[in-house]
Amino acid sequence: MRQLKKILVMMLMAVMLCGNTLTVFATEGDSPEYVSDEWKDQIRGQLNRFYSDLKMIYNLTDEKIKRMDKIYNSAMTYMKNAGLTMSELTSYESEIEGYLSEIAKENTSGTEKFLMLSNEVPILDAKYGEQTFVVLSLINLGKTDITDVVVTPTVSNDRTKWPFDIQQAYDAQTIQIIQASNDTTDAFNKRMDIGWYFNVRQDVLTGCYPLTFHATYYQSGALVETDVTTYINIKGANPSKTLIEDPDKKASNPRIIVTGYRTEPEVVYAGSTFKLSVSVKNTSKATAVENVLFNLEATVEGKDADATYSAFLPTSGSSSVYTERISPGETYDMSIEMEAKSDLSQKPYVLTVNMKYDTEDQINMSDVAHVSVPIKQEAKIDTGAAEIMPESIAVGEQSNVMFSVFNTGKTTLYNVKVTYESASVESGITYLGNIAPGATQNVDSMLTGIAPDTGEGIVKAVITYEDEAGNETRFEKDLNLMVYEMVMDNGMMEDMPVEPVEEEPKKKGLPLVGIIGGAAAVAVIVAVIVIVSKKRKAKKHQEDMDLLDGDDE
């Protein structure tokens, strides 16, 4: 609010618009050099791009956009019409950017950072007065791509913090995209390398220097800022002038780094036990390390301080591993069995490797490394009781099948669809889409009878869904639905129209024979009808009894 008041005061004091006339107040004797319209347009364009980026990065509400539009439009008008020097114009534009950024960031959550340096790149060695090339191998340990990466060296005039000459402003390096990864091996294969040429100072001190680089990138539409740090060993002109107080000991200090890790099984599910193997290396070419103690600390989960817990717990009860000695240049492999908590979300979890060791000259030296263990949640699905109306249909008729599908797991079910497998019915595909954890979708299908079943009266509902990697899983559910052939009973025959039979003219001389013959013919027809009717009733009764026997089973 204080900045807004300052902006409004500047606008009121500096410019007065009356129609198309612009009046700029200046004290007598002042001759300010106002910027040209061309420069104004460039600065205004810079503010426009900044505001557009804010709208793209943040999920702005209508209320925020309304507030920001008001400030933005007023600022654009002011910069176009006011008489300002270059310093005044750029300072004003910077203040507007800051105010817009504050509004955009209100009530927004942070973004997880997965941009790291690969441990596969060794520490560089350099010498005073020489040129060296510093390489950053950047990896993405997240499950989403990061884009528009901009990395800039963090320089300093202090030779203990920045061992290189500052002859010019170092350019930022950019990377268009760093792809997401499944593990560190996959991340290393997808790494992106960038680098700079630096000239080592003549008066540099001997020692191991941390080199910090500032990085910005976009992750899931959000702008993220972070720092990445690498190291370089520098040899100075005067060995007695070192970066630390004890030059002899520091110059020979080794470093232990993590060179890789693996899990057994390769895919770790929440609630499962897995074996973690970590490879570490003594990078020193001359000094061995002894009494090496590794302590593995998992990420702490939980929202409340009283309900926090480690994501991984060692099954043996101890998270420490000890080895007596690691020779110069030697790699040591350590293993520990751990259990992943059952309620972990599906994402990578960082495991910190704290290392303490001794050398011949020093004790209690330490190093820290990090590995990332991706955790998956097993997909779980269940269904409710099916409602089938009617449960028995004739060929050509339809039945309505309805039931619910529940996602009882902690991971999203993708592309959920329902089909029906039976030779007696025909149906299409019922598509349910994605089902979030804990959510429910309802199935409503129409099945058409196409052939009588063989007496079992079972139709199989098949539910398929995919995980994040596109792997499909099948879930089956049996439905009780009978399909039978349409049979005409006595009632149908009685309803059928009967054509009248014309009486034959009586013949003289044979009245009795004609009557007897006609009566016999009628008797035969009636007998046939009765026999056929009884057979059909017996067959229908037997089918009903078979169906009842099938239900009892």
DSSP string, 399-415: EEEEEEEEE-SSS-EEE
Residue burial 437-463, b: 16+ Cβ < 10 Å; e: rest: beeebebebebbbeebbeeebbbebeb
Determine the average pLDDT of the residues in 162-179. Answer: 85
- Burial grade of 280 (CB within 10 A; 0-12, 13-18, 19 or more): buried
Q: Which residue has the tokens 């019915």?
A: 425
Give SS3 for 487: coil
Whether 311 and 298 have beta carbons less than 8 Å apart is answered as yes
Helices then strands, counting H and E runs in the chain, come out as: 8, 32
Helices (H), 82-173: 86-105
Residue 507 pLDDT > 70 = no
CATH of range 258-378; options 2.60.40.10, 1.10.3720.10, 3.40.50.620, 2.40.160.20: 2.60.40.10
Per-residue pLDDT reduced to its tens digit, 7-28: 444 443 443 333 333 333 333 4
Give SS3 for 298: strand
Whether 103 and 64 have beta carbons less than 8 Å apart is answered as yes
CATH class of 381-484: mainly beta
Per-residue pLDDT reduced to its tens digit, 509-542: 445 444 444 544 444 344 444 444 444 444 544 5
The DSSP 8-state label assigned to residue 221 in this structure reads T
State residue 341's pLDDT score: 85
- Burial grade of 392 (CB within 10 A; 0-12, 13-18, 19 or more): middle
Q: What is the CB neighbour count within 10 angstroms for residue 35?
A: 20
- Which of 450, 454, 475, 478 is closest to 464 using CA atoms? 475
Whether 453 and 424 have beta carbons less than 8 Å apart is answered as yes
Read off the pTM: 0.37
Structure tokens at 91: 């300072």
Q: Give the mean pLDDT of the chain.
A: 78
Gap between the Cα atoms of 413 and 409, Å rounded: 9
H/E run at residue 193: strand 192-199
Whether 377 and 438 have beta carbons less than 8 Å apart is answered as no
State residue 463's pLDDT score: 94
Determine the average pLDDT of the residues in 207-221. Answer: 90
Gap between the Cα atoms of 242 and 250, Å rounded: 8
Structure tokens at 61: 């509400």
Per-residue pLDDT reduced to its tens digit, 319-368: 889 999 999 989 999 999 989 888 787 888 888 899 999 887 778 888 88
- Cα–Cα distances in Å, from 225 out to 111, 217, 391, 521? 10, 7, 62, 104
- Which residues, in sequence order, are CB contacts of 121 under 8 Å at separation 6+? 135, 137, 230
Q: Which residue has the tokens 């929440």?
A: 270
Whether 206 and 253 have beta carbons less than 8 Å apart is answered as no
Q: Count CA within 13 A, CB hemisphere, residue 451.
A: 7
The reply to whether 258-378 and 381-484 are identical in fold is yes
Structure tokens at 471: 């792997």
Determine the average pLDDT of the residues in 376-380. Answer: 83
Query: 112-251 has which CATH code?
Result: 2.60.40.10
* Domain definitions of the chain by residue range: 2-105, 112-251, 258-378, 381-484, 505-552
**CA end-to-end span of the chain:** 78
